Structure 1
Amino acid sequence: MQERRTFVDASWYVLLLIWSVSILFPLLWVFYESLKTNQEFFHDVWKLPTDLQWMNYGDAWTEYGIGSSMLNTVYYVGVSLIVGTFLTAINAYVLTRLEFKGKKLLWGVIMLSLFLPGINALVPQYILMRDLHLTNSLTGIVVLDSFSEIAFYLLMLSGFMQSLPKELEESGAIDGASIFQIFFKIILPLCTAGIVTVAIFKFLALYNNFLGPFIYLGDPDKYTIGVAMYQASQIMQYKADWVTLFAGLMITMIPLVLMYIFLQRNIMEGATLGAVKG
């Protein structure tokens, strides 16, 4: 029995190793291709570069607008993340801790939205944004993504709040605390792990969002990083400068890699805690 368990464990290790290599190898390939010249790239895509061409990163930052689009992305993701996460926390608190008429109906509508593809709302959203003169504006898509609640995040955070004992709010109310004081001083501190988990998922979704900025932004100076990389890839139809494009791709991955390195424990702890409490 022990030998069988050891063999199964070894098999899982081999499968995980193969999976890891399949993920890491393309990233490493893009990295060392970004340090080549275009002549070296077209001569042999597997050969390592002879001289490291770090200037490709500077060219990607300036020529393809990666620098300005990164600043636009910081504004778009930063503001949308803060406002959106705060509104998700408020919504989860109202729907899980407060009692009011129509609560079950509201939950039913939210659950129903899980079965509706988001693309269905694209046309009415665009018409609304156009009528409010919020198209071709970074602030416009910030408003759109901040106030567009996603049921998945709401359900995830609701699982944390539902696990909290009701006596905490009752004791706060006895001491004279208002609903807002209970929310800010009792609920939020106890749900920090859940809020961080939701914020991480929101960050990934916002940073990788392409369709929204692509549709609503028409000015190249306002492009986010996803749209800027798409435009750079379109230029490759007329200009074979693939090594600079690879350098830009590596720059766009830096925030995601840093987030994974520093916050992977928060992701695991938050997801596990939500599964146990929910």
Structure 2
Amino acid sequence: MAIALSTVDDRPVRKAPRRPKPAPGTKRLSPLRVIGTLVVWLFTAFNILVLYWLIGAAFKTPLEIFRNPLDLPRQLFVTGRPFRNFAYAWDSAEFGHAFLITVILVAVCSVVIVLISAPAAYALSRLGVRGSGPLTGFIAIGMGIPFQTVIIPLFIVLAKVKLTNNLFGLGVVYVALSLPFTVFLLTGFFRSLPDELEEASAIDGASPTRTFWSIMLPLARGGLITALILNAIGLWNETLLAIVFLQENANFTLSRALFTFYNAASYQSEYGGLLAGVAIIVLPMLVLYILLARRIITGLTLGAGK
């Protein structure tokens, strides 16, 4: 019995694991953390102030906008016409038809972008395609090229095939310019998925195509939804391409209709109506982002997990 006890006592004592060093800027009262927090809060406060001014000005008369820019709207509420500016903007700018066109165009383009990007991202990240690394880098470079630099060549090409002043031609441009970001985003997301699922699928005799559609694509649902939402927000707010490629009122998107409405509203000093038009375009995407912010952030962080 004594021998057994001595054997137990002679075992080496296991050391506690070394405590990891804190990340830079995570210490309490760190100068970097204080400056970063201050910058974030100042930027947030500025954006909230701008949003408050925009919404408030949309319910004001031009005189109230310039005399009391930060006060609550009053005159239109007193006269019983609080939504007068919104009605004026909706009717004068023909936002009803433009709203329908924008919803259809953005929805179709966002879905097409994701449908093209998902197989491309899967092939680059999971199938071991030769040259997938340089090709992914080439796609990432495409994200850094400002689309303003290719507007003239795009216009010339579309003019030759008679797709200017055409919603289909604008949709093709939207899809082409949005593919690099979406492929890059989904490539990182597919890389974060476990390899064991593909191995088990291959053992069961499933082809790569079946594995993609039946197993990997449902698992990537969070990333697909994130890509879909981000593309929808970006295309909804896009203005420059719509100005260049659309000339007829019947094809105008919301942002293009607002650009045309700006000249008429400024000439008539209808600044309240103009800001109401801006609010009509901004608020739907703002509400959408607020409702789906958690899902968007989760999808982006999961995509950076590997």
- Which TM bucket (shorter chain)? 0.7 to 0.9
Q: 1:256 and 1:20 mapped to 2: Cα distance?
A: 18
Three-state SS of the structure 2 residue aligned to 1:195 is helix
Distance 1:40 1:75 in 2: 37
Q: Within the alignment, does 1:172 sit opposite 2:201 as a pair?
A: yes
How far 1:41 moved relative to its partner? 3.7
Aligned residues: 275
Question: Partner residue of 2:242?
Answer: 213
1:260 counterpart residue number: 289
Query: Is residue 193–residue 270 contact of structure 1 (8 Å, CA) maintained in 2?
Result: yes
Q: Which residue of 2 aligns with 1:138?
A: 167
* Deviation, structure 1 residue 107: 3.2
Would you say the 8 A contact 2:223–2:299 is kept in 1?
Answer: yes
Contact 1:137–1:217 (8 Å) recurs in 2: yes
Alpha carbons 1:87, 1:147 under 8 Å: kept:
no
Question: 2:192 corresponds to which residue?
Answer: 163
- What is the deviation of 1:179? 2.9
State the Cα distance separating 1:149 from its structure 2 match. 4.8
Deviates more, 1:136-145 or 1:33-42: 33-42
Shift of 1:202: 1.2
- Structure 1 pair 256–114 and aligned structure 2 pair: CA distance change class (3 A): closer
Distance 1:40 1:105, change over 3 A: closer
Structure 2 residue 152 is the aligned partner of structure 1 residue 152: no
Q: In structure 1, what is the equivalent of residue 89 of structure 2?
A: 60
Residue deviations 1:62-121, cap 9 Å, x none? 111222211111011100001101111111011112234443453343244345333333
**1:51 to 2:80 alignment:** no
* Counterpart contact for 1:213–1:227, Cα < 8 Å: yes
User: Which whole-Å deviations, capped at 9, do the CAs of 1:179-237 have from their partners, x for residues lacking one?
Assistant: 33211111111112222222222122211111211111111121111111222222234
Corresponding residue for residue 58 of structure 2? 34
AA of the residue aligned to 1:20: T
How far apart in 2 are the matches of 1:38 and 1:109?
A: 50
Normalised by the length of structure 2, the TM-score is 0.79
Gaps of at least 5 residues in structure 2 are 1-27
In 2: Cα distance, 1:17 partner to 1:25 partner: 12
Tell me: higher relative CO, structure 1 or 2? Use CA pairs within 8 A at least 6 residues apart: 1
Partner amino acid, structure 1, of 2:156: I
The change in CA–CA distance for 1:272 and 1:137 in structure 2 (over 3 A counts) is: same
Letter in 2 for 1:51: L
Q: Distance in 2 between matches of 1:32 and 1:49?
A: 10
Note the C-alpha offset of 1:46: 4.3
TM-score (norm 1): 0.86
